[in-house]
Amino acid sequence: MNRIFGTSASKKPKPSLQDAITSTDSRMASVEVKIKKLDGELARYKDQMSKLRNGPGKNAIQERAIRTLRQKRMYESQLAQLTQQTFNMESASLATENLRNTMATVDAMKQANKELRKQYGKIDIDKIESIHYDMEDLLEQANEIQESLGRSYAVPDEIDEADLQAELDALELDEEEEGASYLTDLNRAPDFVDEAPVELGETEAKEAVRTTA
């Protein structure tokens, strides 16, 4: 029976929308070629009529030009129809593609929603709040420990700023006196020197006088 009547698998697949667009574009290209050919013929007829005087010859060429022009108009009308068909099919193809993308997005969102529900079902809000409260207690204890370790010992609570300034002025005065005393000691001659120092030029002159005498 299958050999006689065939099977459904032997049927040709139906053309897709993209196949129809490709076929229409091919037909449009063929019509455009024909229109360009007719434009060439019309230009040739126009040139011939410009060189002829009124008469049977010019009238015959004019009739050919009119038939060619009618044929051109027919192809132009067909080209306009094919162009509109292509535009409609491309619009339908774009709408179909957008619908597919929308459906894919919806499916992805459904899957994500399912996963979120599954994951959130494993979370216990009470446990999270308990952990939060425990963390607050631990942080409070840590702050108390830090405050206890940073406590000062044997330091009066109130310190007079005037006393501190007076002590600072006294320290500066002591440093100035020590500096002046140090400079005085540098200018004073050592204790082991009996006579004042003599310049080198005077000593040499005395030695020279003694030698001459």
Give which of 79, 94, 73 is closest to 25, Cα–Cα: 79
Contact 97, 50 (CB under 8 A): no
> Looking at the predicted structure, is the pLDDT value of residue 186 above 80?
no
Contact 68, 45 (CB under 8 A): yes
Contact 38, 71 (CB under 8 A): yes
Q: Please tell me the predicted confidence (pLDDT) of residue 152.
A: 63
Q: Please tell me the predicted confidence (pLDDT) of residue 73.
A: 93
- Topology, domain 15-98: Helix Hairpins (1.10.287)
> Looking at the predicted structure, is the pLDDT value of residue 23 above 80?
yes
Residue pLDDT, tens place only, 82-141: 999 999 999 998 998 999 999 999 999 999 998 888 888 777 788 888 888 888 988 988
Percent of the chain clearing pLDDT 90 (strictly above) = 28
Contact 9, 77 (CB under 8 A): no
Rounded to 10 degrees, the C-alpha dihedral 134/135/141/146 comes to: 170
